Amino acid sequence: MTLNLLPGQTPLSDLETIWRQGVNPELSRDAKPDVEAAAELVRQAAAGEEAVYGVNTGFGKLASLKIAAKDTEALQRNLILSHCCGVGDPLDRATTRLMMALKLLSLGRGASGVPWSTIEMIEALLERGVTPVVPGQGSVGASGDLAPLAHMAAVMIGAGEAEFDGAIMPATEALAKAGLAPITLGPKEGLALINGTQFSTACALVGLWGAWDNLRAALVTGALSTDAIMGSTAPLVDEIHTLRGHAGQIEFARAQRALLEGSDIRESHRDGDTRVQDPYCIRCQPQVVGATMDLLRFAARSLEIEANAVTDNPLVLVGEGRILSGGNFHAEPVGFAADQIAVALSEIGAIAQRRIALMVDPSLSFDLPPFLTPEPGLNSGLMIAEVTTAALMSENKHLANPCTTDSTPTSANQEDHVSMAAHAARRLMRMNDNLSGILGVEALCAVQGIEFRSPLQTSKPLQQAMAALRTKVATLSDDRFLAPDIARASAMIQNGELVAGLALPTLEAQQ
């Protein structure tokens, strides 16, 4: 399957399809005239006497050094090879392919000066399954994601390593097996390939989509927890939230109210309950998690703009007949978006962890047995599962510290303020894994708690979620080796199995 991309107008939903389903992206052929016009302007500049940055000069601090016309090809190859300085574990295949799709979108705007054949090479790598091995560390998010993107570009010229047919091998071997030949880079091409924010943006997008999956799950696990401790649904009444006016809060409350509608457990204690108010982790879910909905949607809009942006340097302005240096490679917008997503992930986990603590505490859980075990004392039940979530919550709190507030000068002070967007985005994958672990344990606790309320039943939608969990994890009676249960529950959070078929908010709803 191939997905046609229109530069400047590609929605996040198309990019998510590329990432989740592995479809092969290709640029709309309507982009070709603009791309070739920019490439022609670069060719003219390369043949001229005037020094043009990135075309016939050195790079960064070496920009004042003029390069002879006969050396422009060597200049671009040397640029790629010298910038392949990444370290650490490689990016996963799906995210690397997303990064390459983003590079197509940027080059397809016709302001980078690469020939159409270079775009076709990226498309061919994607279509034939040649995936560059891109180390995850080495970018400071300005001047672009230089090191990671250099590892991508290296494969195009037959250097570095690539994954093909499930194995990692030298790029030349992977290209040959795929029926492809290395390309020779012309003037400015190497710089256009490595100057950009596509690594940071790809990682941030993956973090965003994972965060939204976790948020949807938290809406359901939070509703399950509310019934498990026999909490009130009065705080979900629409008028409370419309009086405040925040869209995410209103939408969250409506969705959770619908999930709890028809619960026998709720009806059983509507009258005569001596509790006046529930703790904040139950009562304030719309105000907390609803606010993260707004934050994630704001980040999504920023990342959608960036995904469609031209972020290399210099830029080829065909209409003006000029090649100008700027700073679109600075990934500050991506770094800000990643920091926002990180804060949202931390807060979703923080309030969920308090709900878990509530359920295992007999002094707060409204008559549930200690640690949700039918025979406490002999059994410890979910005691240490709750401790594990406290560890995950604490780790995410530390990881949520902003990255964009840090900067260090690089490249002999030429690049004296950087965004740190790359690791701001990359840490979101770890944070999403941690949050899935917290929510997986919450699901285990909440379903166990609701089962203790039998013969009272929860609502039909929540019964559906409970049944899904019980296909993978049995009810906890006597103590057992719990790590596999937590892993299975966490996986159900990540892959959407726990919430499949339920009516839940989508990321695009309020954009």
Residue 413 is which amino acid?
N
Q: Of the candidates 225, 221, 194, which has an alpha carbon nearest to the alpha carbon of residue 440? A: 221
- State both tokens at 112: 């980078």
- To the query of whether residue 280 is one of the catalytic residues in this protein, the response is no
Which element (helix H / strand E) includes 333? helix 332-360
How many whole angstroms separate alpha carbon 204 and alpha carbon 209? 9
Cβ pair 45, 187 in contact under 8 A: yes
Q: Residue 486 carries which side chain, given as an amino acid letter?
A: I
First vs last C-alpha separation in the chain: 28
Give the H or E element holding residue 506.
none
Q: In whole angstroms, how far apart are CA 505 and each of 277, 286, 350, 413, 462? A: 27, 13, 21, 46, 16
Q: How does strand 2-5 pair with strand 322-324?
A: unpaired
Q: Are 66 and 51 in contact (CB under 8 A)?
A: yes
> What element of type H or E holds 360?
helix 332-360
Q: Of these residues, 53, 59, 199, 212, which one is catalytic? A: 53
Q: Are 199 and 134 in contact (CB under 8 A)?
A: yes
Distances (CA, A) of 470 to 220, 263, 395, 475: 15, 19, 29, 7
Q: How far apart are CA 101 and CA 307, in angstroms?
A: 9
Distance CA 324, CA 445 (A): 59
Q: Catalytic residue numbers?
A: 53
